[in-house]
Structure formats: structure tokens, C-alpha cells
Amino acid sequence: MDSMIAAAARALAAGDLLGALKRVALRDDAPALALRGIAMAQLGDLARAKALLKDAARAFAPRETVAKARCIVAEAEIALVSRDLAWPPRELAAARATLEAHGDRLNAAHARLLEVRRMLLIGDLDDAARSLRELDAEPLPPALRASYEMALAGIAIRRLHTRTACDALERAAQAAHDAGIPALAAEVEGMNHVLRIPAGRLISRGGARPLLLGEVEALFASGSLVVDACRYAVREAQTVVPLATRPVLFALARVLAERWPGDASREELVSRAFRGKEADESHRARLRVEMGRLRNELRAFADISATKEGFVLAPKGDREVVVLAPPVEEEEGAVLALLADGEAWSSSALAIALGASARTVQRSLEALAQAGKVHAFGRGPARRWTIPSLPGFPSTLLLPGALPES
Amino acid sequence: MKTSKAEILREYGPFPGKDSVAGVTYDGEHMWFASGDKLNAVDTAAGEIVRSIDISAHAGTAFDGKHLFQIAEDRIQKIDPLTGQVLATIPAPGNGGDSGLAWAEGALWVGNYRGRKIHQIDPETGAVLREIESNRFVTGVTWVDGELWHATWEGDDSELRRIDPQTGEVLHRLEMPAGANVSGLESDGGSQFFCGGGGSGKIRAVRRPG
């Protein structure tokens, strides 16, 4: 490393961003580009940072593999924070492997945490958990430690392991405090907030009330027969019957559960499951067929019998039947749920995260925008979507040092 | 050209509170090393820092028998080792791209890292007297018994190289073991080199061949 780069790197490490930039502003060699990229990222000019880091990665000599890999990790982090989920994850994995092979333990861990965060965002919970298990959290410095605990909490929240999530968030808060990065502490607090606001709505015997995440977890453990409209499944304790790909069966199950212990009329079943106006003879025939299918699916927990008016759900044993609905039900609930993280999303990133087509997501976004529930800014591929009412807590950049010596 | 493996005789550091080592030099009694915002004198027998001077110290360090010279940003400071006072400052020839520093024959020799060359300059004015090309990144530079040696560090690979001061031709390559990278270089005037280990925070003593 040369003198000015060393001076700039020291300034950067001390948080003197302008001091760092001043020292390398006019230089276009690889380490100068990398330092300028990191400094611009910290200053919030992500577009410029991305371009500089890309140039830097290209400009390092082929044998400067560690410096190159660090630039790629920084680029990946910026892509993640910009919700550019199309950024190639294989490049990040390769950079991590390089850093691991060269004993750059901390930056390798940083790269892995970025991989885990991306998996979390696109809902690959199993992969995220597996990848996180391969990481030894013990020697991580506070900022990375906070990031690690937040990833643990993120997985636990999505899996409804409230206790695990709370414990991880407590450790994350301590680590963020130790790191002395207020934005990071705010992010932990934002996740904590999720545990204190309703995660669902319990519909039971004609009444409805909001449920916190911990209460949802307790509900699932209670042995009640739960028709889960957040995950499109019917469950009882550990047994889950997924119906996400069978919307008609799910709709029928939900109507039956909402009317339980009474019966549900043919008219209501037909109108909600088939969107038919009245239960004519062909609808009745179809209803019988679909009920037969649903009976088959739910055989382990309940029976379904015909009544004079319609059908009734008869759970085995002494179980309650309830419906767990999303806190706010709307057609575009899934899109809103993702945007609720406060970040600006591209429609293509939303499509990747939801596993839906770009066209479907676009339609949802347009509908939500007309209702004033989401805002768009930017044009063309740079267009991003946000929820205006939500306080946007920042997704803190914990960038790697760009140079092997630092 | 001869090629051999570097033999590491001893490792110093890492020193408490010093996360990296830039330039190194030797004043006949103490080994000095630059650590960003300090120049530190090390007792080579005990392997401990005995004194530090608060001064910007980003790259090469040298000793002319009386003064210390230290590169900081794009300049070279001339320092009284007794008082720590900066007596004079001259511009560095690489305009901040400078790495190693050595004193010999009444001149300063300055490594230019990515420029892959060594500048010989007038220690009074900073005027460039001569330029020697290398084909590798140049970190530390030192003279011993009329031999010009410089260290290289590119990616994972570091070595010490003796070059012909007239032509730049490589006469001897001393390969450092994997992971032992060399930021600064100085000879003790006798049988060993001191090699600054960059971010490892270590200084390694290497046997001088011959």
C-alpha cells in the first residue's frame, strides 16, 4: 500500500469520509477507486459507489484476488440495500470463498451474512438457516455480531419462534450498542417493533381480535385446528396441510372454519369459493366434488358433513376451530408485507421475492398506488416503490475494508 | 539471477495498539517502525516498543545516521529522533504513491508502489536524480554493502529482490513464505533484514544471503 492510500484508509476507518476522499479524489488506480467507492457508499451516493467499486474490482491486478473480492462484497452489499435482488449471488459466493481461502475471516463472515440476508429477503428460510449455522459468531466484531443476531431473529420471526427471536434481538441490541452505530441500533429496534404489533387476526366463533407474534406461536401450539390465511394452510400442532396451490379448497376451509361450530350455507360457500352469485345445480354438484377433496385433505384432523343448509366442519377430539387472518386483509397484502420493511423496492425485486410474475406484481403496485398506499419514484428500470407512511429505518451499510492491509 | 527461500530468523509483534506496520528502519541501536500516526522505536533484544513519536507515518521510514525520514501522505518529513521535532519537509516524488524509503550515498531512495519503480532524490530539495524501473510493485527499499534491495508485494506474493541500481535487472530473489507480506524493508547493516508485515502488525527478521 502506498502512503496516500494508507492515509486515506486511516481517515476512512476513523469515519473521516471527506478526509479520505480528499486524499484520493484525483487518483484512478485500483485502491483509490475502491476507497472512493466505500466512502461514497457511506455518504449515501450508492449509484456512484457501485460504479466506483465495479471499476476498482476490474482495475486490481489478477493476483490481487483479496482486494478484488472485497470490492465485490461491497458491491453486493450496496445491491442488497438497494433491493437489487437480481445482482448475481454466485459472484458473492465466489468472493466469500476467496476471502475464506485467504484467511480474511471477517470479510468472509460479512459476505456470508449478506448471502443470508438475501436468502431471507427472498424467503429461502432453510437455506438462510443452514448458511448461518456454518458461521462461527463468537469472534465477530460488534457490528457484524449485530448483523448475525438480526439474521437469526429474522429467521425466527418468520418461523414464529418468538422466544428465539426475542433473545437474538436482545443480543443484537447489545452488539449494536457496542458497535456505536446508531443506525444499526435503530434497525434492531425496528425489528423489535415487529414483535409488538399485531402479526395476525384471530377469527373465532364469530368474533375477531388481533394477535401478536407470540400469541400466533401459542395458537399454533395450542392444538386448535387453525385455518391459516397468512400461509394458506390448515394446521393442527405440528401437522400442516398446505393449500397454497389449491385456492378453492382453502376458501372452502376458511368459510367452514369461520362459521364453526355452526354450518356454512351452500350460498356462502359457492359465492366465496367459486365467486358465483347463486348456488345453482351445477354449482351444487361442483361444491360436492370439492368438499370431497377437502374432506380427503383434512381427514387427519376433521370430518366434513352435509347439513340441510350446507356443510359443517367436525374436528376430531375436543378441538377449537379458528381462522388466523393477516392483520389487514387486502388483495395486495403480500406486496405490502414486503414493502413494510421500509426500503425502496423495484418491482422486479418484489417479483423475485414473491415468486410471482413481473406483470402480476406490476398490477398490484398500480392498484396500491391508485389507492395511495404505495409511492413510486424514478423512471424505467430505476423505478422504486415504498410505503409512504412507514418510518424508513435505514438498512445500515457495514462495508468491508476495501484493501487487504486494512 | 539467483532464487532462494527467505529464512525468517525472528518475528517481532504484533505490538499492542498497533494494527499495522508500514516503513521500518534501524538506527544502529533501535529498530523503528511507522504505524500510521506514530513512529515507534523497538528494543530488538526485548522485542518491545521503548519509545514513540507522535507523527503522521503512512509509508517508508529511513535513517541517515542522525535524522529519521518518514513519508506521510505526499511528503517526506525529516525528524530529529531525540526531540521528535520535524526539521524539514520535502515533496515525495510519487506524489503520494510512495511506499518504501532508504538512505544511501547522500541521497534518499523512494519506492513507488504501483508505479513499480524507485526514485533517487536529493534529500534537501526532493528533486528527482534518477529513476530505476522494476517490473513488480515496490514496497520497502534498502541499501546494504553497496547492494540495492527492494521488497515487492502483489496479491498474496512477497519477495525481497536485489537489483542492479544501474539497469534495474533482478540479481537475486528471496521468496517470502505464503502469508508473510512485506510492507517495509531495512537491513541492520549486517546479516539480517527487518521486514514490516503490513496489516499483520508483525516485523520479521530475515537472513541476508551471502
pLDDT band at B207 (very low <50, low <70, confident <90, very high): very high
Alpha carbon distance A171, A145 (integer Å)? 9
Average of pLDDT values for B169-176? 96
List CB contacts (< 8 A) between A406 and chain B: 20, 199
* SS3 state at A152: helix
* pLDDT score of A197 more than 50: yes
Asked if residue A325 lies in contact with residue A201, where contact means CB atoms within 8 angstroms, the answer is yes
pLDDT of residue A172: 95
B157 at the A interface (CB within 8 A)? yes
* pLDDT score of A391 more than 50: no
Has this prediction a pTM greater than 0.90? Answer: no
Count Cα neighbours of A23 within 13 Å in the Cβ-side half-sphere: 27
pLDDT band at A392 (very low <50, low <70, confident <90, very high): very low
* pLDDT score of B158 more than 60: yes
Average of pLDDT values for A46-71? 95
pLDDT of residue A393: 32
Q: Kindly tell me the burial class for residue A177, based on how many C-beta atoms sit within 10 Å of its own C-beta (0-12, 13-18, 19 or more).
A: middle
Distance from CA of B105 to the nearest CA of A (A): 24
Q: What is the pLDDT of residues A131-163, one digit of tens each?
A: 999 999 888 999 999 999 999 998 888 888 889
Please give the torsion angle defined by the CA atoms of residues A162, A167, A173 and A178, in that order, rounded to the nearest 10 degrees.
-160
Alpha carbon distance B46, B31 (integer Å)? 11
Report the share of chain B in percent with pLDDT over 70: 100
pLDDT mean across residues, chain B: 95
β-strand pairing of B98-104 with A321-325: unpaired
| Cβ-defined contact of A3 to B183 (cutoff 8 Å) | no
Q: What is the pLDDT of residues A289-306, one digit of tens each?
A: 999 999 999 998 899 999
A2 at the B interface (CB within 8 A)? yes
H-type alpha helices, A180-320: 182-196, 213-221, 247-259, 266-273, 281-297
ipTM of predicted assembly, 2 dp: 0.93
Closest CA to A402 of A12, A46, A58: A12
Which residues, listed in sequence order, are joined to residue B104 by a DSSP beta bridge?
B107
- Nearest 5°: the CA angle A181, A182, A183 is 95
Alpha carbon distance B64, A151 (integer Å)? 56
pLDDT band at A349 (very low <50, low <70, confident <90, very high): confident
A6, A30, A102 member nearest B59 (Cβ): A6
List CB contacts (< 8 A) between A102 and chain B: 156
* pLDDT score of A234 more than 50: yes
Distance from CA of A92 to the nearest CA of B (A): 19
Q: Which set of grid coordinates corresponds to residue B55?
A: 507523527
Report the share of chain A in percent with pLDDT over 90: 53
List CB contacts (< 8 A) between B112 and chain A: 2
CB proximity list for A336: less than 8 A, separation 6 or greater: A328, A330, A368, A373, A374, A387
Altogether, the residues listed in chain B come to a count of: 210
B contact test, residue of A2, A4, A27, A70 with most B CBs within 10 A: A2
Q: What is the pLDDT of residues A84-101, one digit of tens each?
A: 878 899 999 999 999 999
Q: What is the pLDDT of residues B62-102, one digit of tens each?
A: 999 999 999 999 999 999 999 999 999 999 999 999 999 99
pLDDT band at A279 (very low <50, low <70, confident <90, very high): low
Closest CA to A210 of A219, A220, A218, A199: A199
Neighbours of A348 (CB within 10 A): 17
Q: What is the pLDDT of residues A119-129, one digit of tens each?
A: 887 777 889 99
β-strand pairing of A233-236 with A225-228: antiparallel
pLDDT of residue B198: 92
- Nearest 5°: the CA angle A387, A230, A335 is 25
* SS3 state at A304: strand
